[in-house]
Structure 1
């Protein structure tokens, strides 16, 4: 597993405002989108490209364009939806799939309740979007879900990560998967309710409001 933590003053500034409990949902959503775009720049560094002959106003040349099949962006519902706009701003030609997963708050087991993905992901570079990498269970389950469909190159983009979640990824992910994680920060720990400390609270609730 390859881990990249963004180190940039703009990221630190935006992340501080994001963490503040007094930041309203509309600003929270904007900041998530902006942070994901900054993360996406790093996460897409190794995108596969092919040669493309073109003509500039001056002369012919050979440039580059994204290789086929196109990359697949997969937000994990519901909080991952808040990251989709920031990702597609940088990579508008990518295809988008959806994966609905949630954590049972009593058992911490991962439940898959929705899937809108191609049956065959062979040769696709896949990007999983989920704001919080807490216990790591959702990300492990989602990555193996993609791998069962042929994906071998998976990058997770998260706003925050906990050390416990990163450790679980190291232990539980199939080593045959080329797996990378891009985060804005690695926080201190998980609390007794498996929330990241200091964290930013429940990302889904802060993006969209509390749903009973």
Structure 2
């Protein structure tokens, strides 16, 4: 595992909220709210090093030179369906970002990702793409999504998740070593069914109440 491209956000408030999400008795409503709140912090962290340029502005009192974001514009790419649970929180933090969707489902036998939908802004080659999906388990979905984005012209991509398994991190780093991974926790391992342990169960089922 390459720790240079992996960032684990250990902020006490993030870890507190994540503990609440892990609890079996947490309701669907609270699970969604907590995911949105953590996603805001993850969005803050993944954009921490965006380039800026100084511009001249007038405040009510005087003129000054002040920074504005420069360089590539932003696009958030949600891996359906669970990625949409993070989307609102990320957009709360960067509301001007464009949004794309990548529809993938995991084959229950092979655990491989199967694509059924892809819709992105036409200018993704000119944007920083922030891919969101709560769980980085086997890594198959993330790898497939990022490969699809690169095939469509994307050149600057970052991946953000709530939880990651070591197996998923290693697989994603091997397939796409240029993609930085930001997560709230690196858990212990994957079980025989491809679930992260200790994890929090199926994030999509828990946020949409379909478990």
> CA shift at 1:52, angstroms?
2.8
> CA shift at 1:169, angstroms?
1.2
In the alignment, which of 57, 60, 69 is matched to residue 57 of structure 1? 60
Of 114-123 and 160-169, the range deviating more from structure 2: 114-123
> CA shift at 1:65, angstroms?
2.2
Aligned counterparts of 1:144 and 1:119: Cα–Cα separation in 2? 17
Q: Which residue of 2 aligns with 1:202?
A: 202
In the alignment, which of 79, 94, 101 is matched to residue 97 of structure 2? 94
The answer to whether structure 1 residue 145 and structure 2 residue 115 are counterparts is no
In structure 1, the gaps of 5 or more residues are: none
> CA shift at 1:56, angstroms?
1.0
The answer to whether structure 1 residue 179 and structure 2 residue 182 are counterparts is no
Residue deviations 1:10-35, cap 9 Å, x none? Answer: 11111111000100000000000011
TM-score by length of structure 1 reads 0.93
TM-score by length of structure 2 reads 0.93
Of 49-58 and 93-102, the range deviating more from structure 2: 49-58
> CA shift at 1:68, angstroms?
5.9
Residue deviations 1:139-194, cap 9 Å, x none? Answer: 11111111112222211110000000011012222x4xx31111010000000000
Aligned counterparts of 1:66 and 1:15: Cα–Cα separation in 2? 30
Three-state SS of the structure 2 residue aligned to 1:122 is helix
Q: Which residue of 1 aligns with 2:164?
A: 161
Q: 8 Å contact 1:4–1:181 — kept in the other structure?
A: yes
Q: Which residue of 2 aligns with 1:17?
A: 20
Aligned counterparts of 2:158 and 2:84: Cα–Cα separation in 1? 16
> CA shift at 1:41, angstroms?
0.9
In structure 2, the gaps of 5 or more residues are: none
Three-state SS of the structure 2 residue aligned to 1:4 is strand
> CA shift at 1:208, angstroms?
0.4
